[in-house]
Structure 1
Amino acid sequence: MTSPDHILETRQLTKEFKGFVAVNKVDLRVRRGTIHALIGPNGAGKTTCFNLLTKFLTPTSGQILFDGTDITNEKPAPIARRGVVRSFQISAVFAHLSVLENVRVALQRQLGTSYHFWKPERSLRRLDARALELLEAVDLASYAAIPAVELSYGRKRALEIATTLAMDPKLMLLDEPTQGMGLEDVDRIRQLIKKVAADRTVLMVEHNMSVVSKIADTITVLQRGATLAEGPYAEVSRNPAVIEAYMGSAQTELVGAH
């Protein structure tokens, strides 16, 4: 029986690849309305875990429950329709559509015309007001008319968050949202995640400890596919096993990221 406080739960979630255990009996519980970060050294199994949750990979064993329903055997599309929406490490926007049009494409799902490419453009204009609201939420309203290809990398990631929000997610999965960014963009995206998480749940894989330390309510640390530690940042960052797992410069980063 799942707790109503938890929107997502995994039980003994395991993934093996030809004898290599990438995710090893992970019990993950994500509370509603929180930001939950999944961290760990390279090769810890973080992205594999995300791929299992969104069914890009099939678990070898274990269970995945979302909103109290067992979704272990569901396909990616039904899981997305339930409200589990993921963004990827690599920015995925339509480069030559305008910023507004990118969000409008994501909103088309609500009209049931996602594949009706021959429909006149005016049939989509009713979505413009909502698209602008979403762009306002991610501080991109002033960029609405420009081609997405002209955005800086950080703003492309903000646009991707807007298109994710357009899918009306109950649970947003963000995979390395600040990867490859300079300090200014990192800070913008960190504030943006905090803002959009005000009325939804966020599960994020993130390598930047300064981001995790400032916005995550709960942190799960993976090592070699298994859960090493879990709790708030102040507790996890002082856990000797976690410090040992990160070692060297990463150890300094982990403890000094306040």
Structure 2
Amino acid sequence: MHDIILETFKLGKEFKGFRAVSDVNLKIRRGSIHALIGPNGAGKTTVFNLLTKFHKPSSGSIVYNGHDITGEQSAAIARRGIVRSFQISAVFAQMTALENVRIALQRKAGTEFHFWKSERRLCSLNERAMELLSVVDLEKYADTLAGDLPYGRKRTLEIATTLALDPELLLLDEPTQGMGHEDVDRVKHLIKRVSANRTTLMVEHNMKVIADISDTITVLQRGQILAEGPYAEISLNPAVREAYMGDDGDDDGGNDD
């Protein structure tokens, strides 16, 4: 179906006898914001790693834009337009915000390894880099070292670098983790804005963010899909309420294997 950008069929992952993900059937609609939630150890980050091929599936298949990408490597997945962020900050601390975005633009242009060329040759990328910084409200931080940025702004810079790769499907892994209320609200509106012309799949622990911007929510428990639907439906589901009983909804820090 043309409105489905990514679909998984009985997707599974086993680690030394432990079944981390089992028979996960996802359908991500084109142009939507789709959230993947669940209690600690539910398998959320494992699913992300399977989709972006940081883990090889033990079973099942992944179809993107009608193509079976199950056997492709992570670099090929990125070239297809599937780009992800990570829970842990992944910026170059000793480079400015502008330079961080410019590096991502070099990757898109295929010039990331042109170390022997003058930096002046890269100035042609500055205009686009500034446009992306403006999109995420970081233009005034263009000349600030990434390592000196406040935590929330640093995570925002990561979104700018992923946008530099012009993703068709943007995967955000805990985009508001560790942020204060003001930063969470700002990033929530940013995700909504940058998702206007693309599809977004995100793992997120903040239920207020989920409720405000998600079109569809998939709930995982023990590596399997427990429920799926809009927030109004999911929030009233007795099985979902039981799964979260006594749990604050935080993810497992990327260690849900």
Match of 2:136 in 1: 138
Size of the aligned set, in residue pairs, is 249
Matching residue within 26, 32, 40 for 2:38: 40
Are 1:87 and 2:118 counterparts? Answer: no
Match of 1:105 in 2: 103
Per the TM alignment, residue 249 of structure 1 is displaced from its structure 2 partner at its CA by 5.9
Per the TM alignment, residue 91 of structure 1 is displaced from its structure 2 partner at its CA by 1.1
Bigger relative contact order, structure 1 or 2, given CA contacts below 8 A and separation 6+? 2
Matching residue within 196, 203, 206 for 2:204: 206
Unmatched runs of 5 consecutive residues or more in structure 1: 252-258
Are 1:73 and 2:95 counterparts? Answer: no
Normalised TM-score (structure 1): 0.95
Counterpart Cα distance in 2 of 1:14 and 1:222: 13
Identity of aligned residues (%): 69
Counterpart Cα distance in 1 of 2:154 and 2:102: 15
Matched letter for residue 26 of structure 1: V
Counterpart Cα distance in 2 of 1:170 and 1:249: 33
Runs of 4+ with >4 A deviation: none
Classify the secondary structure of the residue corresponding to 2:195: helix
Structure 1 residues 126, 228: closer, same or farther in 2, change over 3 A?
A: same
Unmatched runs of 5 consecutive residues or more in structure 2: 250-257
Match of 1:256 in 2: none
Matched letter for residue 246 of structure 1: Y
* Alpha-carbon contact 2:8-2:24 (below 8 Å) kept: yes
Classify the secondary structure of the residue corresponding to 1:198: coil
Matched letter for residue 212 of structure 2: K
Per the TM alignment, residue 62 of structure 1 is displaced from its structure 2 partner at its CA by 0.2
Counterpart Cα distance in 1 of 2:218 and 2:244: 14
Residues 158-198 of structure 1 show CA distances to partners (whole Å, capped at 9, x for unaligned) of 10000000000000100001111111111111111001000
Residues 191-223 of structure 1 show CA distances to partners (whole Å, capped at 9, x for unaligned) of 110010000000000011011010000000000
Higher helix share goes to which structure? 1
Per the TM alignment, residue 150 of structure 1 is displaced from its structure 2 partner at its CA by 1.1
* Alpha-carbon contact 2:108-2:164 (below 8 Å) kept: no
Match of 1:61 in 2: 59
Match of 1:151 in 2: 149
* Alpha-carbon contact 2:51-2:62 (below 8 Å) kept: yes
Classify the secondary structure of the residue corresponding to 1:248: coil
Counterpart Cα distance in 1 of 2:68 and 2:53: 13
* Alpha-carbon contact 2:87-2:175 (below 8 Å) kept: yes
Normalised TM-score (structure 2): 0.95
